């Protein structure tokens, strides 16, 4: 993990760490992350699917 991301994760409120890490690794924007639902995250396939986005077939890898 890049040093700047590690520093930022350690410095911010723990409430926002997951969103920051999703943004850093997936490229999703703030609004896209805020709109994620539990069913959008596949822990087995290690993907996040934005089902409410304009492109419903988009899947961002994570992990």
Q: What is the pLDDT of residues 32-44, one digit of tens each?
A: 898 899 999 999 9
- pLDDT under 70: residue ranges of the chain: 51-63
Instruction: Specify the residue for token string 């350690």.
Output: 10
Can you tell me which residue has the tokens 């709109």?
Answer: 35
DSSP bridge partners of 60: 48
CB atoms < 10 A from the CB of 49, how many? 18
Q: How far apart are CA 47 and CA 40, in angstroms?
A: 8
Mean pLDDT for all residues in the chain:
85
Local structure of 27: helix, strand or coil:
coil
Please give the pLDDT value at position 16: 93
């Amino acid at each position: 993990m890049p040093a700047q991301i590690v520093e930022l994760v350690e410095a911010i409120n723990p409430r926002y760490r997951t969103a920051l890490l999703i943004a850093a690794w997936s490229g999703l924007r703030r609004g896209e992350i805020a709109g994620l639902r539990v069913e959008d995250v596949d822990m087995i396939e290690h993907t996040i699917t934005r089902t409410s986005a304009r492109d419903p077939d988009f899947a961002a890898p994570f992990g």
